[in-house]
Amino acid sequence: MSNPTAYRFSFGPWNISEGGDPFGPEVRSAFPHEAKFALYRPLGFEGVQFHDDDVVPGLDDLSPEAMLTKAGEVKAMLANQGLIPEFVAPRLWFDPRTVDGGYTSNSAADREYAWDRTRKCIDIARAIDCKAIVLWLAREGTYFREAKDARLAYQRLLETLNAMLDYAPDIEIWIEPKPNEPTDLAYVPTIGHAVALAYASKDPSRVKGLIESAHALLAGLDPSDEMAFALAHDKLGSVHLNDQNGLKYDQDKNFGAANLRAAFNQVRVLEEGGYGSRGEFIGLDVKAVRTQTGSPVTAHLTNSREIFLRLVEKYRSMDHALVVALRESRDYEALELYIIKHLLGD
Ligand code: XUL
Ligand code: MN
């Protein structure tokens, strides 16, 4: 069945970047966040995804009042541009106190920093009228398997979720799983892990997931099945659509650019699951590649959006009755050929 959703799109300021990578510096001039906000609507986007310090740079060194004043300025900027803040995520991977992780660090002082920072992140989210906190648990894992007590780490993650739920009864927490990078092995590698933590928490209805296509592929999983799993539990808070060419560093390629059929299946599952009908965003966590000329670089965002919308058309124009019939007759060879021909434009 078709889902008549008119999708809304979002991305984060980090998706318009200057092309630096671990092997070389930026290749384009810096483009201030404030100037980025003016680009969103003309590019076809209305949702802004934030890290806490995308809203309030240098927040660790500010008084609570100064932090909230700056957040209030960003709220006004968003309103002026007709933009909606989709989520705020605590950046728990940059500060020296997060070298060994935040919530799962072996150091009590570092865990305290992670919790303080998380509370500030929630305060910032509230100050810009945003109800969702994303946890990308960047360094909650190990490079050396024996370095941490993994069982204790899971307990600490759960305690943190519960503390967040207590601290702010009006927020949702969306966990973004990723199996590796920067750590060798992360503690929350798949949506199954995230959903288990949600159910174990004190308010499962407020803990959901954000599924990134590339992260699922890095775990050796099919992103569309990961999305279907979350949807089956009503736990898909948001998505980071993008693509990934094999098991290597997190590439954040344009949606559909490495595997168009896998992208089609993500769209199919989102359509069939009614995703977006309650205002959920199509987030595009795609990277501005280093080789692209011009500044600011935005084609990866509009191209990914266009590919998504073309695949929605493909899903809606499919012969759905034929798919049902081929499933019933168990002729999956014919089903595959039909899908591929449909994608080829036949
Ligand atoms: C990291 C990643 C992040 C999160 C937000 O791989 O995807 O950008 O989406 O912190
Ligand atoms: Mn992401």
pLDDT in tens, 174-193: 999 999 999 999 999 999 99
Rg (CA), the chain: 20
Q: What is the mean pLDDT of residues 73-99?
A: 98
Residue 61 lies in a domain: yes
The CA-atom distances, in angstroms, between 234 and each of 137, 161, 198, 229 are: 21, 18, 11, 9
Residue 326 lies in a domain: no
**Contact (Cβ atoms closer than 8 angstroms) between residue 158 and residue 137:** no
Active site residue 123: no
Question: What was the pLDDT predicted at 301?
Answer: 98
**Contact (Cβ atoms closer than 8 angstroms) between residue 229 and residue 192:** yes
- CA–centroid distance, 70 to ligand 2, in Å, is 25
Question: What was the pLDDT predicted at 133?
Answer: 99
Dump pLDDT digits (tens) for 142-168: 999 999 999 999 999 999 999 999 999
Residue 284 lies in a domain: yes
The domain of 187 spans 8-317
**Contact (Cβ atoms closer than 8 angstroms) between residue 86 and residue 124:** no
Residue 298 lies in a domain: yes
For residue 339, the surrounding DSSP H or E stretch is helix 332-344
Catalytic residue among 52, 54, 100, 243: 54
Q: What is the pTM of this model?
A: 0.97
- CA–centroid distance, 134 to ligand 1, in Å, is 9
Residue 335 lies in a domain: no
Question: What was the pLDDT predicted at 147?
Answer: 98
Q: Look up tokens 């509230």; give the residue.
A: 126
Partnered with residue 10 across adjacent β-strands are 47, 283
CB-side neighbour CA atoms (13 Å) of 249: 5
Question: What was the pLDDT predicted at 123?
Answer: 98
Active site residue 319: no
User: If you take atom 10 of ligand 1, which residue's CA is the nearest one?
Assistant: 136
Atom of ligand 1 nearest to the CA of 136: 10
**Contact (Cβ atoms closer than 8 angstroms) between residue 288 and residue 13:** no
Partnered with residue 51 across adjacent β-strands are 89
Residue 337 lies in a domain: no
- CA–centroid distance, 116 to ligand 1, in Å, is 21
Residue list, ligand 1 pocket, CB within 6 Å: 51, 89, 136, 176, 178, 212, 240, 250, 285
Q: Token pair for residue 205?
A: 């209805």
Q: Please give the tally of structural domains in the chain.
A: 1
Partnered with residue 343 across adjacent β-strands are none
Secondary-structure percent of the chain, ordered helix, strand, coil, rounded to 5: 50, 15, 40
Could you tell me which residues come within 8 angstroms of residue 324 by beta carbon, excluding any fewer than 6 positions away?
A: none
For the domain that residue 206 is a member of, what is the CATH number?
Answer: 3.20.20.150
Q: What is the mean pLDDT of residues 265-269?
A: 98
Q: Token pair for residue 9?
A: 């799109």
Residue 182 lies in a domain: yes
Residue 213 lies in a domain: yes
